[in-house]
Amino acid sequence: MQQVVRATPSPVFLPGPCKSTWVSRSWWTTGASGSIGTAKVARAKPDGYTLLMIHVSHATNVAMYKSLPYHPVDDFEPIGRATSGPMVIVARNEFPAKNLGEFVAYVKANAAKVSLAHAGVGSASHLCGLMMMNALNVKLNEIPYKGTGPALTDLMGGQVDILCDQTSGTVPSVKTGKIKAYASAGKTRLPQLPEVPAISEAGVEGFDINISFGLYAPKGTPKPVLEQLTSALQKSVTDAEVRQRLEAMGISAVSAELARPEALRTHLKNEIDTLGGLLVKAGVKAN
């Protein structure tokens, strides 16, 4: 029986030819920014039957925790990247700015009274918020929540001003008019919200963040097994039904070229340097 431990909330990817059999069981093992579930996989028998699906926290936990019961690079075998999830800057409907230019100007002029919600220390929305504050050279009032759900609820209720989070959680609320979007957190517009500009269109530099999920096996998993798993992942990310289901959630499956061990290994090391470095610079540590 094959099982996938999702250390952070994530989709499970089933390859087209064997959707009903490739993964027999999956579950979330959350807590401590995903490190509990990650440690579980690190200790698992390296036979290809227990895998880890995780995003940016696999890279940033190194910076956040004084010690971890595993090493993100040394204790795992990368199988491949699976998804790419863009981020979007959203705000309560009553936020004064009418467009991106006004948003940037207002935040810079009123930083001391603007509240920035995020889903908790080290979360994707926290990293996006930190990157935004660095890019705009401001310090906003950070309001941490225990997850995106509560943060988004308070944003819709007008209790907080802005949030930067993944499209999978924010786009539905934008489209139903419960909140408004100002920009994608990167260099390109989002296919889900083509009318919303990219933050780079306002001349803001150094602000480009995208959340990618990757699939890992415990260290020591035999090479033939890893090759089989990578092949299955590549079939999954190129499967039309899987891609359609992900796009409906505001997520994009990566190309088969990125669903490879080398691509995930490079991506992880880059995130350890860039996003881990962002937390170190900000002095952020887990409680």
Burial of 224 (0-12, 13-18, 19+ CB in 10 A): exposed
Closest by Cα among 130, 132, 123 to 207:
132
Whether 141 and 67 map to the same domain: the answer is: no
Whether 96 and 178 map to the same domain: the answer is: yes
Say how many domains are in the chain: 2
Whether 48 and 150 map to the same domain: the answer is: no
CA 109 to chain centre: 29
Rounded-to-integer distance, Cα 130 and Cα 275, Å: 10
Q: By the 8 A CB rule, do 9 and 30 touch?
A: yes
Beta-carbon count within 10 A of 226 CB: 18
Check whether 3 has a pLDDT greater than 90.
Answer: no
Exposure string (b/e) for 138-171, b if CB count within 10 Å is 16 or more? bebeebebeebeebbbbbbeeebbbbbbbbbbbb
Rounded-to-integer distance, Cα 267 and Cα 34, Å: 18
Whether 59 and 99 map to the same domain: the answer is: no
Q: What is the CATH number of the domain that holds 40?
A: 3.40.190.150
Check whether 250 has a pLDDT greater than 80.
Answer: no
pLDDT in tens, 59-72: 999 998 888 999 99
pLDDT in tens, 89-98: 999 999 999 9
Rounded-to-integer distance, Cα 18 and Cα 93, Å: 44
Whether 131 and 193 map to the same domain: the answer is: yes
pLDDT reported for residue 19: 40
Rounded-to-integer distance, Cα 94 and Cα 64, Å: 35
Whether 137 and 180 map to the same domain: the answer is: yes
pLDDT reported for residue 34: 76
Confidence (pTM): 0.85
Helix (H) or strand (E) segment spanning residue 124:
helix 124-136
Q: What is the CATH number of the domain that holds 157?
A: 3.40.190.10
**Residue 287 maps to a domain:** no
DSSP reduced 3-state for 239? coil
Whether 188 and 240 map to the same domain: the answer is: no
Domain coverage including residue 226: 3-82+212-282
